[in-house]
Structure 1
């Protein structure tokens, strides 16, 4: 039974009931979701109004570009440089911060399955054509940016800071500009609502403060641990991976959480092991990777970085296909013994023979073939995509649910969806007898599908939209479902062996950064052995 057969056996998402979340989630998860959905819907017209008022081509390019600075990929690409340039302690702290932020925010996203604000009326602005694949609440970009900013500002304002005063002030200004552009950009780009970013900011502030307050004690535990004590880290990581909630839709949040928990495990176990190496420095902390700019210079530093990155890519390019080839028969044997705990949306090994070699992954660390595209994106910030309409399963279900909500309101209490109100309160907002306002027009667009505006420069003026006419059926028909689901790209088949593969590959990346790259630097003549 091959991969193609598996794909055909999957039920068409567009044929599922509109009670999708009630059927997919236990009551203790469904209840808070239903309590928070009205807030997401209430915010949407205001977000669309704000977006239209301030949008310009220049701001589109700016916020689409700066959004890259808050992604997991950005940090994963540049974090190894801190380790190889002598800032091992800072690099480890940022790994802890980002791993905690990505895992906790992903945990909440998959727990509650709250959608992003609807598009239309919002236009989603990104540097790529594949945005909004995850749930909306909370904003992981905001969590990442605020956690890093809070930790960085705490270090700069610490009495122990050795940064010159003028440099310190400049770094603080840059930090404030950075975090402000990320958070405001999430709203401007139509990717999140106010509630998403506020909770993301609170979560990020708590994580940054916790790392600053308790990070040194945690480092001391890691670097001085016995081999039994260090095993606590992978044990806790595996428990966290297992208890991560299963989403109602095929959402990549779990992939990101899995990758960063692997990175956390690898950086702590790798740092602990490196403290026993003859190359390790004890200052400023045990396990510091040797680096001295005066000895190596700019050329040597660049060579170290290039060689280190090549080591990381070599690890993944070899390990990933190897595991995907050897794990399926192992998983089939374990499945027969009843020793596997399958996850939703991951096909079990008994239902396929091989894993395709050309899988299109949601990767936290880019593939080697993605580097030209990554560089092009950085060099051409004006390149962006503007999308209107549902992009994910969560988008599609929310579009249908809101459409059904308005239809039922229309049948039960007059046409509450009319842009010209009669003192009723559609979506919780009072509407008086008057001409339709922009907010009314935006509210009328919610639940529609407008594929006519694709990538490129979309109109800044929204089309006028009327309310949905009442349906003659008891629920939105399959024709409506097919209309909405036809706009989204169906996720590919996912295989159970990918979970272990991703965990091993991403746990190995920091191991390569900390324990493989330094000896390679030494071998090619760009190491530093004396302090």
Structure 2
């Protein structure tokens, strides 16, 4: 169990989160405040019950980290790095949002709606728990984080959203395949079931391999995904019929419930983007319900297998027509996003200022109130769900060259930095207590260096601490390896040597600086940890409503707008005309 004052305040690190300062304002240089070392960042920012729960779970994250590092050391190869970095994209919000509209336009409306419900639930509830508990990812070092996504490491770690999404999709798909009338006679059905099993296992295990999550994260994330899939299988059709066959009151009730859930989403202690993703998928569900309810009454839709099904038959339509409608639909979605987003950024700020003046606004941490800025500048990298059209060439290039992954070592987010400092503080405190005032050598441990790499590390007087790690020349007991990785935790170093063979992965091979640190050195290192972090961008209060409207519109276009347009453009089935 962590002590109450285990994690220093932001001010104790000399770094001040300026997420609520207007972009025109000049940010102050980080400085260290005397007497602030023992303040607990999370105790100050979280309700007592949330902080108490967090402190009970933190030891799990810390306990499993060295074992994850040991597993990573034993398994890592350049080819597996590329494979798991690449396949992680199949569990992202972007992948699912690209695939969902295509399901609707190709006549799989029942599957599309099920996916919307499951993915939105997975993103929302995993993000809800992440922001509620504020648990960090397993520490790096000793772990290496391998990813093609720059934003993934900025979120809290528990639970794993990738695992939640992958497991819910896999369970639903496998159950649907097993329930198919011809599944026993078809090798295709069997092959698809094997594919979804492999898909779920690959995504879940890949989060461990890539150092992005711990065992606790993926197990609970997978259980959450299984529960979501079970709920969808048991009640999904009932919900679809209730929404589409009733009056407008039915979808309105569902929309109000979603908005209430958005409002009660916990405030995080750090600037975490989980809420942004939850908002986007809440908008998708809202647009989907409105579109389904109205489209089922237009005369263009079919009632089987569920009301609001988009008519589609590849044989009678032809491959060219089917492809054209998909291309047209995708273009319209990107045009909608590209036009509505800047338009809302101009329209909404004056309205928000009026609401703020009347005290009717609903402020949220890390979002700048409209009264503190004059306009919203063009934002880049502000959307983790659907990228802008200008970012597509870069994304496709990365997908075409999966070796273009990032292997990073060291804290990447504020949560990482606080946990690094907290773990170091706890270890030093325990060392002092265990020797009745004398600091043990492991309180000033430096990451060992692989043979063949240069280093200016000051060796510890304790000879056993100077054994090179990762040389792989002599067998080393597992307990010793785990102990070595425990020493790495809390160092905050960002240039320890790579455990991947240096001739194939030299991104982070280099020198390591260490040593016996004075209090001034500790404060300087803490400051440096925060200075190395990417500064969070300013987030504006109008972004919340903007995301709801933009993503609600995207869902409506997928469910109703584009299918009707296809009919008038000669790309539809015209079954009821």
Q: What is the TM-score normalised by the length of structure 2? A: 0.84
Contact 2:248 2:293 (C-alpha < 8 Å) held by counterparts: no
Matches within 5 A, 1:121-200: 121-158=142-179, 160=181, 164-200=185-221
**Residue 50 (str. 1) matches residue 71 (str. 2):** yes
Which residue is 1:513 aligned to?
Answer: 558
**Residue 211 (str. 1) matches residue 236 (str. 2):** no
Whole-Å separation in 2 of the counterparts to 1:166 and 1:59: 29
Whole-Å separation in 1 of the counterparts to 2:530 and 2:333: 38
Unaligned 5+ segments in structure 2 are: 1-19, 446-461, 465-476
- Change beyond 3 A, Cα 1:192–1:468: farther
Which residue is 2:27 aligned to?
Answer: 8
- Change beyond 3 A, Cα 1:482–1:291: same
Cα displacement (A) at 1:190: 0.3
Root mean square deviation, CA, Å: 2.8
Which residue is 2:487 aligned to?
Answer: 444
Cα displacement (A) at 1:514: 1.7
Matches within 5 A, 1:237-252: 237-252=258-273
- Change beyond 3 A, Cα 1:301–1:452: same
- Change beyond 3 A, Cα 1:201–1:284: same
Whole-Å separation in 1 of the counterparts to 2:373 and 2:463: 56
- Change beyond 3 A, Cα 1:521–1:7: farther
Cα distance per residue 1:297-325 (max 9 Å; x no partner) = 11111111100001111111111111111
Whole-Å separation in 2 of the counterparts to 1:81 and 1:152: 16
Whole-Å separation in 1 of the counterparts to 2:400 and 2:421: 39
Cα distance per residue 1:478-505 (max 9 Å; x no partner) = 4232111012101001110111101111
Which residue is 1:285 aligned to?
Answer: 306
Whole-Å separation in 2 of the counterparts to 1:466 and 1:359: 35
Contact 1:113 1:247 (C-alpha < 8 Å) held by counterparts: yes
Which residue is 1:351 aligned to?
Answer: 372
Whole-Å separation in 2 of the counterparts to 1:461 and 1:360: 25
Unaligned 5+ segments in structure 1 are: 423-433
Whole-Å separation in 2 of the counterparts to 1:55 and 1:80: 36
Cα distance per residue 1:11-32 (max 9 Å; x no partner) = 9598786511011101010001
SS at match of 1:5: coil
Which residue is 2:525 aligned to?
Answer: 480
Which residue is 1:417 aligned to?
Answer: 442
Contact 1:117 1:191 (C-alpha < 8 Å) held by counterparts: yes
Which residue is 1:429 aligned to?
Answer: none
Contact 1:390 1:484 (C-alpha < 8 Å) held by counterparts: yes
Whole-Å separation in 1 of the counterparts to 2:162 and 2:478: 38
Matches within 5 A, 1:357-396: 357-396=378-417
Which residue is 1:427 aligned to?
Answer: none
Q: What is the TM-score normalised by the length of structure 1? A: 0.91
Cα distance per residue 1:378-402 (max 9 Å; x no partner) = 2222221100011111111111111
**Residue 337 (str. 1) matches residue 358 (str. 2):** yes
- Change beyond 3 A, Cα 1:397–1:290: same
- Change beyond 3 A, Cα 1:461–1:81: closer
Which residue is 1:425 aligned to?
Answer: none
Which residue is 1:499 aligned to?
Answer: 544
Contact 2:21 2:368 (C-alpha < 8 Å) held by counterparts: no
Which residue is 2:10 aligned to?
Answer: none
Deviates more, 1:324-333 or 1:151-160: 151-160
Contact 1:98 1:144 (C-alpha < 8 Å) held by counterparts: yes
Contact 2:495 2:511 (C-alpha < 8 Å) held by counterparts: no
SS at match of 1:386: strand
**Residue 397 (str. 1) matches residue 456 (str. 2):** no
Which residue is 1:64 aligned to?
Answer: 85
Which residue is 1:326 aligned to?
Answer: 347
Deviates more, 1:350-359 or 1:118-127: 350-359
Whole-Å separation in 1 of the counterparts to 2:539 and 2:161: 23
Contact 1:411 1:470 (C-alpha < 8 Å) held by counterparts: no
Matches within 5 A, 1:257-268: 257-268=278-289
